[in-house]
Amino acid sequence: MPLVFLLYLTVSTAQPLTFSVCEFVSLSVSQSVRMSAVLALQTEVDPRALEYFRKGEALIGTAKEYSEEQQLYFAKAVEIAPAFAPARHNLGLVYLKRGKLDEALVQLQELLKLDPKNVSARLLCADIWAQKQDLDRAAEELEQVLEIQPDKLDVIEQLGNIRVRQKRFAEAVPLLQKAASGPESGPDVHFNLGLAFENLGRKDDSLSSYLLFLQQVPDDPQANLAAGLLLKDKGDKQGAVRHLLKAYSPTEPDPAIAEELGNLYLDLGKEEEARKYLAQANTDSPVTLANLGIAAKRQKQYPQAEAQFRAALAKDAANADIWAHLADVLAAQKKDDEALQAYQKALDLKPGDFDNLFNLGSVYANLGRNPEAQKAFEQALKVDPKSGRNHLYLAVVLDRQDQGTAARNHYLSALANGADEPQAHFRLAILYSRERNVDEALKHLAVAFERQADKYLPMVLDELKNIHSDLDAIRYTKAFADLMAKYERR
């Protein structure tokens, strides 16, 4: 009666392959093998080969499985009977498990000459080529398998994985999508789909795939990092933080992830958290140092902020933005001369920057250096003619220099461009009164009182003590008397 050779040798080489900080591909082209071997009459196999084969087979499932002894038995069987396919298969498998890839490949290729449609042998060959980094040949073997079994989803997935490793992402996507449609598909297919989509610029599809993966493997750091960065790109800062925190390891902090978290917390206005993570980022980076300074600046910890900005400038002295931040904290500490120098340095590096011109003018104005302030505000006006706050500040310094008509026009421009401040209305009331424009003077004074009577009513009362007042044009009118009475009673 015929003998049945039952081969229970198994191999599994699945492992994650790291491509970058947030990329891996799970590759497992070799399958668990349970082979019902060819049926062979005892007369068809040399009895000596059969005896050695049985000795090797007897070691399956024991401590000597894949041992040198088992290798020798199967090798002897092949030596005696070169066409004995089960012996070649098992010898190739033992070589593979013992890390002898070239020897395994020889046996499996000889087996394929005997049996070109041997799916197990082709899968093992694909595994070997993949381990040898010859992905083209690995893919060829898998394509041969799919010609024999076109709906074998696990092989379709492995071919898709190889296409990802080859950076042939457009070819990988349909393969992985088909694999993902199967009821037995695991989470890795969604990760690799996410990776392929991301490299094709299909960010929404990529994010969806990563999130599907994370439904099954919620704490995976690489997938959480990828999802976090994609959510950041979409503007979902809270979602980005949620995933990046899962990607971050406090025991083995990654400076790049720490920097992402720090910057996101800074954008979210959570300065304490921002400083915590930025301190664990690359503090040799001027950008990290500057962001630490910005967090301290927002917390009004100006000396600490100044120190961070100066440290950043020591590494990047040509960064206009850092000079501007340094100027801000110097101004906040009333270090006016240093602040002026820092703003000017920022403007030397970035000429025509509106914010730096405006802030330079503000420091000059606070120092009472009105002509210099006027010059800075006028330069800023050329950059942004519709800045209400710049019109307002320019009006103030013109007003101080008794340039009433020009001041009035800029106060009006301030109101027209969104800087609807009580101060502008009060000064317009004064200027219109000087011009004897009673209606406009009373209109703006009423607004100033309505907005901030506690400040401007005492100022008007003091002005009325003067024999000759800027309010002479309106002080004797009934409307003015009614307005004063209304607010004096409060």
Which among 225, 300, 276 has a CA at the least distance from the CA of 20? 225
Which among 329, 323, 266 has a CA at the least distance from the CA of 292? 266
Q: Distance (Å, rounded) from C-alpha 9 to C-alpha 67?
A: 12
How big is the chain, counted in residues?
490
Q: pLDDT tens, 1-31?
A: 222 222 222 222 222 222 222 222 323 333 3
Residue type for 407, please? A
Q: Are 40 and 2 in contact (CB under 8 A)?
A: yes
Q: Distance (Å, rounded) from C-alpha 314 to C-alpha 295?
A: 19
Q: pLDDT tens, 405-452?
A: 999 999 999 999 999 999 999 999 999 999 999 999 999 999 999 999
Q: In whole numbers, what is the pLDDT of the chain averaged over residues?
A: 90
Question: What percentage of the chain carries pLDDT values higher than 90?
Answer: 89
- What pLDDT sits at residue 489? 83
Local confidence band at 258 (pLDDT 50, 70, 90 cut-offs): very high
- What pLDDT sits at residue 13? 27
Q: Distance (Å, rounded) from C-alpha 356 to C-alpha 328?
A: 9
Strands 35-36 and 23-27: what pairing?
Answer: unpaired
On the question of pLDDT at 454 being above 70, the answer is yes
Structure tokens at 237: 């800062």
- What pLDDT sits at residue 18? 24
Which among 197, 183, 198, 186 has a CA at the least distance from the CA of 151? 183
Q: Are 38 and 70 in contact (CB under 8 A)?
A: no
Q: Measured between alpha carbons, how far is residue 307 from residues 18, 288, 303, 312 in Å? A: 39, 13, 6, 9
Q: pLDDT tens, 127-142?
A: 999 999 999 999 999 9
Burial profile 170-209: b = 16 or more Cβ within 10 angstroms, e = fewer? ebbbebbbbbbeeeebbbbbbbbbbbbbbbeebbebbbbb
The CATH class, in words, for 1-150 is mainly alpha
